[in-house]
Amino acid sequence: MNNELEKIPIFFAVDDSYTHFLAVALQSLIDNSSKEYYYLIKILHTNVSKKNMNMILKYERDNVDIEFVDLNYYIKQVADKLYTRDYYTKTTYFRLFIPNLYPQYDKALYLDSDITILGDVADLYHTEMGTNLVAAAPDDIINFNKVFQDYAEKVVGVADYKKYFNAGVLLMNLDELRKFNFQDKFLYLLETVKFSVAQDQDYLNRLCKGRTTIISKKWNRMPIPSDEIETKDIKLIHYNFACKPWHFENILYNEFFWEYAQKTECYEEIKKIKENYTEEEKFRDRESEQKLRELAQKECDCVGDDREYRRNINSVIEKSKERLAIIEKIKKLEKEGKFDIDAEEDPPTIELTPENIDYLRERRYSKIKNKVANRLGARFLDRLLKNDKLIIKDVKGIENLENLSTGAIITCNHFNPYDCFAIEEVFRASNISDKKKLFKVIREGNYTNFPGLYGFFFRNCNTLPLSSNRRTMIEFVKAVEKILERGDYILIYPEQSLWWNYRKPKPLKNGAFNLAAKNNVPVLPIFITMEDSNIIGEDGFPVQEYIINIEKPIYANHNLSVRENMENMKNKNFEVWKNIYEDFYKIPLEYTTEKKVIKLANEE
């Protein structure tokens, strides 16, 4: 084994009758692999013959290791609970045991054997998942059939059938699945709920809903006519359900299967399988699809349907007049180029003097309140997430946070009072939250004059309030220096203003970048993109689903002055945000600001 190469764990699950098709999948995997990685292939089984094992083991290469793993000892404990139908076997459940079977791996790929791979699976393996449990593509069979759509939402319980994923190509976050206690929850669900349509896939969708990264269908393209993905862009073809090129003629993309099948020693045997596949067997396959639809319909008929009720309830919630007024004010501010003015009224500012602030929480009473506030804040955040008032759909680039070796200034766009909780959730989900602290720079009035629970959080949850008092700001700067020197992080909103659900990045102020340059620490740019969820909030607007994009840190150039570094880091930060915005929303970044206003601003 080449220990210098990054290892890519890949799991298959087969029985003896499927090893010929596994050979084709492996041939295509190896032909499209890279010498830069070491592919650790584990084949889970209970009954593969020695002859077929030896045939598959011939696919080992210098950077491809293959191991057969007999699960008889493991499965017999739950075999009586594993329901199967039609052509399914109990091997379909094997993927659900991978997290506990392989505690040495943090993540792994699971692939069905009825696939042909046209790209390097290492690219799929490197998909950013954040703290989500799995990454997978939507299931085309579900998405193109109304009965299955209803089944996914009414019976399985996913919020939107478009998020029901196919489990034949699965990137598994094994570390998070173990933390989630996935296997025990699956075995409990087996005892209480029987999913009979897609079986293990249904259980996966039920257990992982809300914590799934949806990937492009180019990594799980099924042979169903569609113009969503061009053939040249396909990375993996999944001959799902009865769409088997070794059974039927004219299966879409069958040419790719036969291209790789010809390279295997199983080619003649696979041709015989096709030649000997009887009309009766073909009829049975076609009939099984109809039976599956009927089964899904029966399942749907046995449960109530409150989806339309929820939509009706959502539709009658009148949009908040206050929110509508804020939206109009944001439009006006953008047109006038006043990007640093808040669209919502802040509490009146009371001057914060040095004797009324303990930035580093060094006093005994400050420490106690800080501890209590952080504990209450964590509970408050959990409730926001549980009640869908804060929805984090995906986190990309968390390794850029985890790999920081020094203190850092974290920048983020500011569009919601809860967006700091989104950053807090990312921080506590990282592997550094027990070693580092996250501080948040806040406005003076939020610290001195904000009422209630929020005010308590503002004053005590690792916050660094700004001040209109010069002496207090001297203490602020000293505290920042100490925090960064000991390797902790400070969150600053460099746009300065909060514009509700404003999706564009706004022009940036100097403060965050000046502090980074003076203290010789990197800036870690975070930009949160968003899209409407199907949940309507109390204000009558859709709750937003956040995608948190954590980009690579921006470092100072030691050959530049503090001022030059400040400008350089600020410009790079804005460019990063701009690129994320344009890439996600597929539109150029343009403001409605009148040209006359822009010209005057440039002259200043």
The runs of H, that is alpha helices, within 61-108 are 72-75, 98-101
Q: Would you call 354 exposed, middle or buried from its count of C-beta atoms within 10 A (0-12, 13-18, 19+)?
A: middle
Indicate the fold that domain 6-301 takes in CATH.
Answer: Spore Coat Polysaccharide Biosynthesis Protein SpsA; Chain A (3.90.550)
| Mean of pLDDT values over 69-87 | 59
DSSP 221: B
What residues are paired with 238 via a beta bridge?
115
Q: Which helix (H) or strand (E) is 287 found in, with range? A: helix 279-301
Which residues, at least 6 apart from 325, have a Cβ–Cβ distance to it below 8 Å?
Answer: none
Give phi and psi for 392, each to the nearest 5.
Answer: -105, 105
Residue type, 174: L
pLDDT higher at 432 or 171: 171
Give phi and psi for 403, each to the nearest 5.
Answer: -90, 0
What residues are paired with 357 via a beta bridge?
none
pLDDT for the residue 307: 66
- CA–CA separation, 256 vs 117, rounded Å? 9
Q: Which of 115-129, 301-315, 338-352, 453-467 has the lowest mean pLDDT?
A: 301-315
Query: Of 83-97, 274-288, 344-358, 541-555, which one has max mean pLDDT?
Result: 541-555
Residue 604 has pLDDT above 60, yes or no: no
Distances (CA, A) of 304 to 148, 289, 300: 16, 24, 8
Structure tokens at 499: 């514009």
Could you tell me if 417 and 450 are in contact, meaning their C-beta atoms sit under 8 angstroms apart? no
3-state secondary structure of 583: helix
CATH superfamily of 361-603: Glycerol-3-phosphate (1)-acyltransferase (3.40.1130.10)
pLDDT for the residue 317: 65
Residue type, 308: E
Residue type, 492: I
pLDDT for the residue 196: 67
Which residues, at least 6 apart from 429, have a Cβ–Cβ distance to it below 8 Å?
Answer: 130, 131, 395, 398
Beta strands in 161-249 (DSSP E): 169-172, 212-214, 236-238
Structure tokens at 442: 């806040």
- Report DSSP letters for 355-406, one per residue: GG--TT--SHHHHHHHHHHHHHHHHHHHHHHHTTSSEEEEEE-HHHHHT--S
Residue 549 has pLDDT above 70, yes or no: yes
Percent of the chain with pLDDT over 70: 92
- CA–CA separation, 519 vs 568, rounded Å? 15
Residue 595 confidence class, pLDDT cut points 50, 70, 90: low
Neighbours of 530 (CB within 10 A): 24
- CA–CA separation, 290 vs 286, rounded Å? 7
What residues are paired with 548 via a beta bridge?
395, 528
- CA–CA separation, 232 vs 234, rounded Å? 6
pLDDT higher at 334 or 538: 334
- For residue range 321-360, list pLDDT tens digits in order: 888 999 999 999 999 999 999 988 776 788 999 999 999 9
Residue 554 has pLDDT above 90, yes or no: yes
Could you tell me if 481 and 563 are in contact, meaning their C-beta atoms sit under 8 angstroms apart? no
| Mean of pLDDT values over 430-445 | 89
Q: Which of 258-267, 382-391, 466-475, 565-574 has the lowest mean pLDDT?
A: 382-391
Residue 193 confidence class, pLDDT cut points 50, 70, 90: confident
Residue 537 has pLDDT above 90, yes or no: no
Residue 186 has pLDDT above 80, yes or no: yes
Which residues, at least 6 apart from 74, have a Cβ–Cβ distance to it below 8 Å?
Answer: 97, 101
Residue 85 has pLDDT above 70, yes or no: no
pLDDT higher at 381 or 31: 31
What residues are paired with 489 via a beta bridge?
408, 438
- CA–CA separation, 4 vs 283, rounded Å? 52
Handedness of CA 166, 170, 175, 181 (dihedral sign): positive
Percent of the chain with pLDDT over 90: 59
- CA–CA separation, 417 vs 76, rounded Å? 52
Neighbouring C-alpha atoms within 13 Å toward the C-beta of 321: 0
pLDDT for the residue 84: 39
pLDDT for the residue 280: 87
- CA–CA separation, 132 vs 577, rounded Å? 23
| Mean of pLDDT values over 237-260 | 93
Give phi and psi for 514, each to the nearest 5.
Answer: -65, -45
Could you tell me if 366 and 355 are in contact, meaning their C-beta atoms sit under 8 angstroms apart? no
pLDDT higher at 495 or 289: 495
Residue 597 has pLDDT above 80, yes or no: no
pTM: 0.54
Residue 90 confidence class, pLDDT cut points 50, 70, 90: low
pLDDT for the residue 580: 95
Structure tokens at 600: 């005057």
SS (H, E, C) 480-524: HHHHHHCCCEEEECCCCCCCCCCCCCCCCCCHHHHHHHHCCCCEE
Residue 252 has pLDDT above 80, yes or no: yes
Q: Where are the domains of the chain?
A: 6-301, 361-603
- For residue range 397-426, list pLDDT tens digits in order: 999 999 999 999 999 999 998 888 999 999
pLDDT for the residue 308: 59
| 496: region left, alpha or beta (phi > 0 left; psi from -120 to 50 alpha) | left
SS (H, E, C) 400-444: HHHCCCCCEEEEECCCCCCHHHHHHHHHHHCCCCCCCCEEEEECH
- For residue range 35-46, list pLDDT tens digits in order: 999 999 999 998
Residue 2 confidence class, pLDDT cut points 50, 70, 90: low
Which residues, at least 6 apart from 538, have a Cβ–Cβ distance to it below 8 Å?
Answer: 317
Neighbouring C-alpha atoms within 13 Å toward the C-beta of 300: 17
Helix pair 364-386, 419-429: axis angle to 10 deg: 100
- CA–CA separation, 345 vs 326, rounded Å? 10
Residue 6 has pLDDT above 90, yes or no: yes
Q: Write down the mean pLDDT value for the chain.
A: 88
Q: Which of 225-229, 494-498, 518-522, 553-557 has the lowest mean pLDDT?
A: 225-229
pLDDT for the residue 314: 45
Residue type, 20: H
Give phi and psi for 460, each to the nearest 5.
Answer: -130, -10
Neighbours of 540 (CB within 10 A): 16
Closest CA to 257 of 23, 34, 53: 23
- CA–CA separation, 268 vs 259, rounded Å? 13
Neighbouring C-alpha atoms within 13 Å toward the C-beta of 268: 1
- For residue range 491-520, list pLDDT tens digits in order: 999 999 999 999 999 999 999 999 999 999
Q: Which helix (H) or strand (E) is 117 found in, with range? A: strand 115-117
Angle at 13 between CA 12 and CA 16, to 5 degrees: 120
